[in-house]
A and B are shown apart, each in its own frame.
Chain A
Amino acid sequence: MSTSALPRARGFPLGTVLHYWVGVTVVVGMAFPLVWMLYSGFKTNQEIANTPIALPSVWNWHHFVEAWQLGNLGRLYLNSLLVTGVSVTALVMIASLAAYAFARLRFRGRDELFYLLLIGLLLPAQVVIIPLFFLLRDLQLLNTYWALILPYTSWPLALTIYLLRSYYLTLERELEDAARIDGASLFQTYAFVMFPLVRPALATVVILNLVNLWNELLFAMLFIQDERLRTLPAGLLAFSGYYLVDYRLVFAALSITTVPILVLYFVFQRHVIAGLTTGALD
């Protein structure tokens, strides 16, 4: 990151040491539960009971195989990938189209429709769980992937359109006008000129929604009861219910479901942080 505007402790070794000491203490204290989770999955239940903090005497890799198989974690991963992948793709495509129109096209009712959409920014999703449940039941979509894909595509629309619209508003008008003068249709102008320009903002909203939807619990546990269709958060919760006292298995399952996400985070750290804090920063 760029140079800090904060005053530095001027070449004071004691200040530097103190600064590191406090920083490292806070960060290690915060990260330690994750490290503890990681190595506890290798321990036997007896070890966990007798010496909860100690490292495993034997590294039992097979606990992870067991958790993977018993929890059907591969299936949960696939379900989450499918539901989140389809939802985020559809969401971003649809939101970008609308955001462009709200930012750049002139048509009757444009602003009113945009304000209507903004209602979605204020609503907590819990507000609609009851009617949404019965709507999906009447459409016979409960216990199908659609029961998640449709709400997952619809609920984040307000925020996503809002964020993309502000980005479209910052783009120069010249390219767009040139395309129109060359005879490109509205849609061609959008698809070949404007959409490629909005890519940086697109990456941000994709990450934001990817993380939020991947981790979503409430809709996932209410609208899908079929174990084979569950997503990771709902499946993990059910798993921990079945194996409540089989500590090693729950630790192993926790590691299996969190470590890949953390690795991805550290690889794409800059983008993920930008994505998750977008909206709060403008």
Chain B
Amino acid sequence: MGLPSRTERTTGGRAVRASRAARLETFQKYLFVVPALALFATFVLLPLASALYYSFTVWEGLGTPAWVGLRNYVRAWNDSIHVRSYLNVAVYIAGTLVVEVAFGLLVAVLLASDRRGFGFMRGLFFSPMVLSMVAAGLLWTYVYDYRRGLLNEGLRAAGLGEWAHPWLSDGGTAMLAVIIVSGWKYAGFYMIIFLAALRRIPVSLYEAAMLDGASPLQRLWHVTLPLLRETGVVAVLLCVTGGFAAFDLFFTMTNGGPFNATEIPTTWIVKQAFDRHNMGYGAALTIVMTAVVGVVSLVYLLATRRRHAVEY
């Protein structure tokens, strides 16, 4: 790897000049990475280290943080809303696995066609991906509006008026409502990555299956799905880690409400830090979250690595 440094091989009187040139070049090589590393160290690593430090302190943002050892972590463990936020985010992630990954896969299979118009449909299905979560969240807040919302009005028009419901302000349905929006926004992403995997499957496999008399459903189950496994593993990982990092949609639509029914770790952290000025406690919660995401990803990667990928 790397450029062969010809200068080192020169001999005789030119050696001194050559070694000076070599040193200059070594210096130049570091110049390539210095800007990136400086920014990364200042705005990513340094804050990460500070977060760890703050997590052992009580601090309201002014003056000096007071060291309290592990007290914030004990508090986090006993904070019932904090614990609940993890249950909530687990429900959210489970839901998004269905409405983003599974539904995305379904739509990929459905829209993977060269028939006229299907390219356009795929493009349309992907389009919410480019919108901001704020725009998506606001739009759907109005879709779910009790009196003026598209959903309830649609139900009334279909004669299902008694199903009309204050979707976001009822703790029983708020999480589901947010999950649906998440699916609306992201299913297109998973559709595309499954579509790419579908297109890599050789046609010969389907021809062989058809010769053996496999029905379309059998072909889907025995040929397509096993060959999508690797993509599925990546998709699930992205969905799970993305789920922990969710914030914008919840902040825009419910901000954790009603009565913490949609409180997730990120909304709770922002409330602790920026509404209640519990910086030390908030920092501890961020460290907990980092650890949880890290452990979950690691366990998942180890668990899925065992089984061998299908060769084709």
A257 and B121 contact, CB distance less than 8 A:
no
**How many angstroms between the C-alpha atoms of A112 and B262 in the bound complex?**
41
**Interface flag for B2 (CB, 8 Å):** yes
- Where the two chains meet, the residues of B that have a C-beta atom closer than 8 Å to any C-beta of A are 1-3, 25-26, 28-30, 32-33, 35-37, 39-40, 42-48, 50-51, 54, 61, 107, 109-115, 117-119, 121, 123-135, 138-140, 142-143, 147-150, 153-154, 157, 184, 189, 192-193, 196, 198-203, 206, 210, 216, 219, 224, 234-235, 238, 241, 244-245, 247-248, 251-252, 266, 269-270, 273-274, 279, 282-283, 286-287, 289-290, 293-294, 297
**Interface flag for A228 (CB, 8 Å):** no
**How many angstroms between the C-alpha atoms of A203 and B273 in the bound complex?**
38
In order of increasing CB-CB distance, the 3 nearest A-B pairs are A106-B2, A131-B50, A101-B32
Q: Which of A4, A33, A106 contacts B140 (CB 8 A)?
A: A33
Q: Which of A5, A100, A237, A262 contacts B252 (CB 8 A)?
A: A237
**Interface flag for A22 (CB, 8 Å):** yes
The majority secondary structure among interface residues of chain A is: helix
Residue in A closest to B52 when the chains form the complex, CB atoms: A131
Interface size class of A (residues with CB under 8 A): 35 or more
A31 and B199 contact, CB distance less than 8 A:
no
Chain A positions 196-212 with a Cβ under 8 Å from a chain B Cβ: 211
- Where the two chains meet, the residues of A that have a C-beta atom closer than 8 Å to any C-beta of B are 1-9, 16, 19-20, 22-24, 26-27, 30-34, 36-37, 40, 48-49, 52-53, 94-95, 97-98, 100-102, 104-107, 113, 116-117, 119-120, 122-135, 150-151, 153-155, 157-158, 161, 176-177, 180, 185-187, 190, 211, 214-215, 217-218, 222, 232-234, 236-237, 240, 247, 250-251, 254, 257-258, 261-262, 264-266, 269, 272-273, 276-277, 280-281
Chain A residues, CB < 8 A from B224:
6
Residue in A closest to B244 when the chains form the complex, CB atoms: A124
Chain A residues, CB < 8 A from B45:
116, 119
